[in-house]
Structure 1
Amino acid sequence: MGVRGWAAAGIGAVALAAGVAPAAVAAPTAEVPLERQVLPPGDGWASVGPGTTGGSGADEAHVFTVRTWEELRAALGGAGARGDTTPRIVRVAGPIDANTGPDGQPLTCEDYADPAYSPEEYLQAYDPATWGDQEPAGPLEDARARSQENQEEQVRQYVGSNVTLVGVGPDARIVGAAMTVRGSTNVIVRNIRFSDAYDCFPAWDPGDSGGTWNSEYDNLWIAESSHVWVDHSTFDDGEHPPSALPEYFGAKYEVHDGLLDITNGADLVTVSWNRFVDHDKVMLIGSSDSRLTDRGKLRVTLHHNLFDRTGQRTPRVRFGQVHVANNHYVRPDAAGYVYSWGVGRESAILAEDNFFDLGPGIAPADIVTVYGGTGLAASGTLVNGRSPESAVDVVAAYNAEHDPDLDPSVTWQPPYDLQLHPTQAVPGVVGAQAGAGRIG
């Protein structure tokens, strides 16, 4: 059984995603190869101040083309990548699976499991019918945590400062990895498909929303970092989308965390022209209401992204001044849909010219959920059509069904000149250009 196998296999015997000329972006040119390109001026929060240039200035000794997980880790600086400031360009050629050992052989969940851990025994031991509603504790829970640590040592890789991580050609892919930009500045990530950051050892939390399975890894996590540009990439659950996951204790056995989370004081980030596909909790901006040091940070721009069959957190925001513009949201059915924009504590979301294709049972009021926030400025939104009749005042729709009302304004304006399309053009331009394999 492969690393992404226990959940899909049921854990043994226990019942157990308008043709209009595109706005100016950093398109490849004959003069500047993809790996040497930098974020254009005015392209979101990451362009503010000195801008974002990544590893564009790397010398030839620090330009790497990698085809295996071991080569990728070494090119990024290996165990010393976190905190490294050496300018680097790392070119990903073809698919790379993080669950691969130094000998090239695939690693499985069993390879990471502590000898004292068994998934069948875990489910039997902490079944609420016999364990109750207290948190799991004891030797078996300790063994699960050790197992998770074993997997993390293999699949988490840090990205240092002054780095460009870029896919070469149409099939650059990183599978099963927890790619982490933490404590870094000036990072560019482009043209890569990030898939299936699969946690073999989810933890049962009976006190979270009536009982939830929580997992550890994001496909890409940005924390304590600034000036980061994530562009023309694709994020998904690979072979294990939400529909493939079983239920235990009446809750989905969730083996994934976020696709792209931005937390812990991260700042000045642009997320552009990406695809986020068939995933539940997509993007968390700000991890905790109690993290008051996030005030004045978490300034993020999301533009020209496709959110295809996503459940929630596109994004969910705390504290940050977040610009959500020219994105296309596609949700053909209500099953599994929770909301799109989460208005959290002291958040200030400015949403401009976004297009929603929503299936039966999803109303405009459902686009927003409030988690302690008080304001959201949304304009130019179209829902299920390009005609003037499709224009929706999202905040008014929310306020008509909920109390207290959201304030339909925020107290900031972008300090950059981002080029936007008219909303009716968004499905065409985003569909044609967003995602990995569209540049380079």
Structure 2
Amino acid sequence: MGRPSTIAAALALASCVVMNAEPALAAESSPVGFASMNGGTTGGSGGSTVTVTTASALAGALTSSSALTIRVSGMISISGMYRVASNKSVLGVGPGSGLNGGGLTMSGVSNIIIRNLTIQNSGDDAINVQDGSHNIWIDHNNFTRAYDGLVDIRLASDFVTVSWNRFYNHDKSVLLGSDDSNTGDIGHLRVTYVHNWFDGTNQRHPRVRFGNPVHVLNNYYSNIGSYGVASTTNAGVYVERNHFENVARPTSLAEGTSPQGNIKLLNNYLANSGTPLSRNPSSVAAIPYSYTPECNCSVKATVTAGAGVGKIGL
């Protein structure tokens, strides 16, 4: 394992002195970032609570027209993508609960919370957010071994926070914006990625089109195969106080046939990693919410201790 360059270490130390911030809590009771805006995200709060242990019970609860808190008990085998209706909280009970063989899709819906689930071996995506869905909070989950993406957000979806998740054993992790020609995404795709652990994954952490601003804050990237964050196709991404360890390309400005996007960098910690690329930082829109960033020097310890299932008392 390599050591941070002198410059990177100096920047990390400087940010610690300037920030003087307390380590972030690993169990927020409500989302930070974009999912806290636009009226906030409360999920099934105010509705009934049900516990499900079978695929059929899960499918019925997810599509209910009522606000519901759905407690998933145990690992439930499903096939395909299960639709989630608006005003739902889907919570895993304990560290061993979740979905095997399929995933969850949110299409044209709002006000949904997904927490404390392991979603694995999906034949499609683990999580798919599309068609203008908004106010979605995806928090403290484990995602691994899907056929396609682990958390894909696209088609004018908006006001989403992806926090405290662990992504591992996978290639294409997190896509934001699906097509270079989909100009309907302009003005949408505002997403906060905070305190996630990208653990030995390959690419898309996230890969962004059009979204501006997209806030990539206090995440830990370890042993990444291809690249960390990619900004393409007019996107504006603020990459702030993350920890990159064994990442040859922490940031990228063009992937596949997509043209370059824009990236603003601030105080990212580099351990045995390449130099992050930036472009037109002044074109990255200002972050519109208040937040308290964590010092980059403590991100690794905080994220490895707090990300994933079993860390929030459910």
Normalising by the residue count of structure 2, what TM-score does the alignment of the two structures yield? 0.86
Aligned residues: 288
Of 368, 371, 390, the match for 2:252: 368
C-alpha distance in structure 1 between counterparts of 2:51 and 2:93, whole Å: 9
C-alpha distance in structure 2 between counterparts of 1:263 and 1:411, whole Å: 19
1:228 Cα deviation from its structure 2 partner? 0.2
Q: Which amino acid aligns with 1:354?
A: N
Larger strand proportion of the pair: 2
Alignment of 1:81-120 (within 5 A): 84=65, 86-98=66-78
RMSD: 2.0
Partner of 1:236: 144
1:377 Cα deviation from its structure 2 partner? 0.3
C-alpha distance in structure 2 between counterparts of 1:366 and 1:92, whole Å: 36
User: Is it true that 1:65 corresponds to 2:51 in the alignment?
Assistant: yes
Structure 1 unmatched ranges of 5 or more: 1-19, 28-36, 99-153, 199-216, 238-254, 397-405
Q: Is the 8 A contact 1:379 1:393 kept in 2?
A: no
Alignment of 1:135-284 (within 5 A): 154-198=79-123, 217-224=124-131, 225-237=133-145, 256-284=147-175
1:416 Cα deviation from its structure 2 partner? 1.1
Identical pairs, percent: 38
Partner of 1:146: none
Larger helix proportion of the pair: 1
1:25 Cα deviation from its structure 2 partner? 5.8
Residues 374 and 236 (structure 1 numbering): CA distance in 2 closer, same or farther, change over 3 Å? closer
User: Is it true that 1:378 corresponds to 2:258 in the alignment?
Assistant: no
Partner of 1:356: 244
Larger Rg: 1
Residues 63-103 of structure 1, C-alpha deviation per residue, up to 9 Å, x if partnerless?
Answer: 210111111112112xxx5xx4x2111101111111xxxxx
C-alpha distance in structure 1 between counterparts of 2:261 and 2:190, whole Å: 18
1:367 Cα deviation from its structure 2 partner? 3.5
1:222 Cα deviation from its structure 2 partner? 0.7
Partner of 1:339: 227
The alignment partner of 1:425 has SS state of helix
1:21 Cα deviation from its structure 2 partner? 5.5
Partner of 1:212: none
Residues 346 and 169 (structure 1 numbering): CA distance in 2 closer, same or farther, change over 3 Å? same
Partner of 1:117: none
The alignment partner of 2:204 has SS state of coil
Structure 2 unmatched ranges of 5 or more: 1-20
